[in-house]
Amino acid sequence: MDLSPDACYRALTSRDARFDGRFFIGVRSTGVYCRPICPVRTPLRRNITFYPCAAAAAEAGFRPCLRCRPETAPGTPAWRGTSATVSRALQLIGEGALDRSGIPELADRVGIGERHLRRLFDLHVGANPVSVAQTRRIHFAKKLLDETRLPMTEVASAAGFSSLRRFNTAMRETYGRAPRELRRGRGSRPETEDSSLQLRLDYRPPFDWPAMMSHLQARALPGVEQVDADVYVRSIEIGGMSGRIEVGPAQQDHAVMLRVPARFSRHLMGIVERVRRSFDLAADPAEIQLQLGRDPMLRKIMSAHTGLRVPGAWDGFETAVRAILGQQVSVAGATTLAGRLARQWGEKLDDPRGEVVRTFPRPERLARVDLTRLGVVRTRARAIRTLSREVAAGRIRLDASADVDQTCQALLAIPGIGPWTVQVVAMRALRDPDSFPAGDLGLRRAFELQGQTLDAAAIEARAEGWRPWRAYAAVALWRFEGLEARRGLQASSTVDKNSSRLPSGSRQ
């Protein structure tokens, strides 16, 4: 844990939401563990033990607090930056790796031995992988009990329990109550095919939601994505089903609301994990701003744009294809080409409504089509087909559980894919917080607006001091450059309108 116990106690007494999820408090006098924002009276310092994550508190014998609901806390970043292996293993656990197999298989997937994996978890997480997976299941089940009216069998299945009996036992052992008692009389009901589930996903403030929506709206893929006011809508395809999800700000502070069709209930945990990554809900803006603020230029930019997040990717393959299409063309041009791909080879939704009517084509499909028919230049078409074959065969993984260095090397080995594309994919699909496309034209323009003319090599050297948060620095520079360019266009438009009324020669 980065924070000292004394610092943690000061954070606890402040009830500051920015510390939510960074650590948990085990209260020995009550036997419960809480979030730093728990509304109960602050326990005495001598009765408290601090833990880096909920699983560590649970493994120490504490049960979750029913007041502050630890299951709703933002993702815990305590282990980030300390072990890439642990980070990958946690991502795999989040995707249900231990629901389908055991620790030996998990260790094999991250390329180390089982004993070494357990040692790393003890060191960086404070709990073993099984405890992390079990805490994850229990927390998600409790969330579904509180926020939905799904029947108990569906709650158990969605949370990754192999049977209703195991679910009931685990909830009784953890909370001392049966699941039906935890639901507080809300009751349950089978959802209809057309009904939807709503889940609240918390984050640490601040969050520049307009900046996120602006980024997504500029790149919204026709037929696949839509940004309506401050709500993001997109198509998804999971388990042979397709449909739409919606993500927008919650009425209460520090959360977004996810709306998903009820028929996806068995896949809810995976959907929630992907949405959290797509909107970077586990980010710690205070820590990131503190680190990047050491650079005077970034300090000025980030103080004006607090709460920036790195936009992620619902589907890594889709993001990689769009990045290839975006090489040396505008954002609008790449979006148009990607929309043509979706319209030509994407599948129609099971419930098409509004503007979102198709899914993005799967790699198996794009591996065997002629993309030049849609106006894609030959070198990029060949690169997309090669990438599609590699992804379809499982030789390249494009998600947050992939090894960043190996995946980047594999992408660079494909003719037609350059460093800019690889860094964009690493930033958005692989969720690497230190990726940085130094050759990006927008970054160069941002430096020019600050009076600095730098080439890619000089920008790369300047960014060395921003590690390990270079991706956030890039987002801040892009936001600054975009807003300045917009102001410049508006000013130019105003001058042009006014100058038309002036006598000839008065424009000077």
What does the pLDDT look like over 287-312, one tens digit per residue? 899 999 999 999 999 999 899 999 99
H or E element, residue 118: helix 114-124
- pLDDT of 210 over the 70 cut: yes
- pLDDT of 249 over the 60 cut: yes
| Structure tokens given for 351 | 């419930």
What residues contact residue 113 under an 8 Å CB cut-off, 6+ apart?
Answer: 107
Please tell me whether the peptide bond between 468 and the residue prior to it is cis, using omega within 30 degrees of 0: yes
pLDDT computed for residue 100 by the predictor? 80
pLDDT band at 125 (very low <50, low <70, confident <90, very high): confident
- Dihedral (C-alpha) 170, 173, 178, 184: value to the nearest 10 degrees? -100
In 121-208, which ranges are E strands?
196-202
Which residue is listed with tokens 């769009």? 322
Determine if residue 189 is left, alpha or beta; phi over 0 gives left, psi from -120 to 50 gives alpha, anything else beta. beta
- The model's pLDDT over 385-425, given as tens digits with 9 standing for 90+, comes to 999 999 999 999 999 888 899 999 999 999 999 999 999 99
Average pLDDT for residues 352-376, to the nearest whole number? Answer: 92
Query: Is 194 labeled as catalytic in the residue annotation?
Result: no
pLDDT band at 1 (very low <50, low <70, confident <90, very high): very low
pLDDT band at 172 (very low <50, low <70, confident <90, very high): very high
With b for 16 or more beta-carbon neighbours within 10 A and e for fewer, the 131-160 pattern comes to bbbbbbbbbbbbbbbbebbbebebbbbbbb
pLDDT computed for residue 309 by the predictor? 96
Is 75 exposed, middle or buried, given 0-12, 13-18 or 19+ CB atoms closer than 10 A?
A: buried
What residues contact residue 160 under an 8 Å CB cut-off, 6+ apart?
Answer: 96, 99, 133, 136, 137, 140, 269
- The model's pLDDT over 61-85, given as tens digits with 9 standing for 90+, comes to 999 999 999 999 987 654 454 577 8
pLDDT band at 264 (very low <50, low <70, confident <90, very high): very high
Average pLDDT for residues 269-277, to the nearest whole number? Answer: 94
- pLDDT of 440 over the 50 cut: yes
Name which CATH class applies to 282-310+436-508: mainly alpha
- The model's pLDDT over 5-17, given as tens digits with 9 standing for 90+, comes to 888 999 999 998 8
Which residue is listed with tokens 């098409």? 352
Which of these CATH numbers, 3.40.1170.10, 3.40.50.300, 3.40.10.10, 3.40.1280.10, describes 5-72? Answer: 3.40.10.10
Average pLDDT for residues 371-380, to the nearest whole number? Answer: 93
Average pLDDT for residues 147-159, to the nearest whole number? Answer: 95
| Percent of residues in the chain assigned helix, strand, coil, to nearest 5 | 50, 10, 35
The packing angle between helices 470-499 and 296-304, to 10°, is: 70
Average pLDDT of every residue of the chain: 89
Average pLDDT for residues 155-164, to the nearest whole number? Answer: 94
| Structure tokens given for 155 | 């709650």
pLDDT band at 102 (very low <50, low <70, confident <90, very high): very high
Find the DSSP H helices in 176-315.
179-182, 209-218, 268-278, 285-292, 296-304
pLDDT band at 99 (very low <50, low <70, confident <90, very high): confident
Residue span(s) of the chain under CATH 3.40.10.10 come to: 5-72
pLDDT band at 459 (very low <50, low <70, confident <90, very high): very high
- pLDDT of 55 over the 60 cut: yes
Average pLDDT for residues 250-269, to the nearest whole number? Answer: 93
Q: How many CA atoms lie within 13 A of 193 on its CB side?
A: 4
- pLDDT of 194 over the 80 cut: no
- pLDDT of 492 over the 70 cut: no
pLDDT band at 243 (very low <50, low <70, confident <90, very high): very high
pLDDT band at 501 (very low <50, low <70, confident <90, very high): very low
Average pLDDT for residues 261-281, to the nearest whole number? Answer: 94
Strands 225-228 and 196-202 come out as unpaired
Query: Could you give the CA distance from residue 31 to residue 220 in angstroms, rounded to a whole number?
Result: 48
pLDDT computed for residue 193 by the predictor? 53
Q: What is the 3-state secondary structure (H, E, C) of 339-384?
A: HHHHHHHCCEEEEEECCEEECCCCHHHHCCCCHHHHCCCHHHHHHH
Determine the distance from the C-alpha atom of residue 321 to the mean position of all C-alpha atoms in its chain, rounded to a whole number. Answer: 19
Cβ neighbours of 274 (radius 10 Å): 22
User: Reduced to 3 states, what is the DSSP secondary structure of residue 463?
Assistant: helix
- pLDDT of 327 over the 50 cut: yes
pLDDT computed for residue 110 by the predictor? 87
Query: Is 34 labeled as catalytic in the residue annotation?
Result: yes
The answer to whether the beta carbons of residues 188 and 154 sit under 8 Å apart is no
pLDDT computed for residue 36 by the predictor? 93
Amino acid, res. 299: R
pLDDT computed for residue 255 by the predictor? 95
Architecture of domain 197-281+313-435: Orthogonal Bundle (1.10)
- The model's pLDDT over 161-171, given as tens digits with 9 standing for 90+, comes to 999 999 999 99
With b for 16 or more beta-carbon neighbours within 10 A and e for fewer, the 465-502 pattern comes to ebeebbbbbbbbbbbbbbeeeeeeeeeeeeeeeeeeee
> Which of 41-50, 118-127, 490-499 has the lowest average pLDDT?
490-499
pLDDT computed for residue 508 by the predictor? 27
- pLDDT of 499 over the 50 cut: no
pLDDT band at 493 (very low <50, low <70, confident <90, very high): low
- pLDDT of 240 over the 60 cut: yes
Residue span(s) of the chain under CATH 1.10.1670 come to: 282-310+436-508
pLDDT computed for residue 124 by the predictor? 84
Please tell me whether the peptide bond between 206 and the residue prior to it is cis, using omega within 30 degrees of 0: yes
- pLDDT of 101 over the 50 cut: yes
Residue span(s) of the chain under CATH 1.10.340.30 come to: 197-281+313-435
| Structure tokens given for 253 | 């502070």
What residues contact residue 282 under an 8 Å CB cut-off, 6+ apart?
Answer: 21, 74, 75, 76, 77, 203, 276
H or E element, residue 49: strand 48-51
Q: Which of 8, 34, 65, 408 is catalytic?
A: 34
| Structure tokens given for 27 | 């209260």
> Which of 192-196, 380-384, 470-474 has the lowest average pLDDT?
192-196
Query: Could you give the CA distance from residue 417 to residue 387 in angstroms, rounded to a whole number?
Result: 9
| Structure tokens given for 319 | 């993001």
